[in-house]
Amino acid sequence: MVSQKLHITCSFLSPTMKVSVRVRGEWFAVPCRDGRSTVRWLGEDALRRYLKLKPSTIVSGREEIVFEVRKTQGGAILDPDDNIKDVLNDEDFVSVVLESDKPSPVTAPAEIHYVPEQVPGLFSPPQEYLSLDGNSMSTDDLLNLGNNRYKIRLSKDSLERVTKGREIIDRLLKENKAVYGITTGFGSFARTAIDKDKQCELQENVIRSHASGVGNPLSPERTRMLMALRINVLAKGYSGISPQTLQQVIDAFNANCLSWVPEKGTVGASGDLCPLAHLALGLMGDGKMWSPHTGWGDAKYVLESHNLQPIKLLPKEGIAMINGTQLITALGAEAVERSGIVARQADVVAALSLEVLKGTSKAFDDVLCNQLKTFKRFVHTVARVL
Catalytic positions, please? 180
Residue 50 to residue 44: CA distance in whole angstroms: 10
Q: Is 191 helix (H, G, I), strand (E, B) or coil?
A: coil
Residue 293 to residue 209: CA distance in whole angstroms: 30
For the CA atoms of 53, 57, 59, 63, the dihedral, rounded to the nearest 10 degrees, stands at: -60
Identity of the amino acid at 303 = L
Q: What are phi and psi of 157, to 5 degrees?
A: -70, -30
Residue 364 to residue 357: CA distance in whole angstroms: 16
Closest CA to 16 of 7, 27, 29, 1: 29
* Angle subtended at Cα 205 by Cα 202 and Cα 208, rounded to the nearest 5 degrees: 160
Closest CA to 245 of 280, 292, 286: 280
Q: Does the CA dihedral 160-163-166-167 come out positive or negative?
A: negative
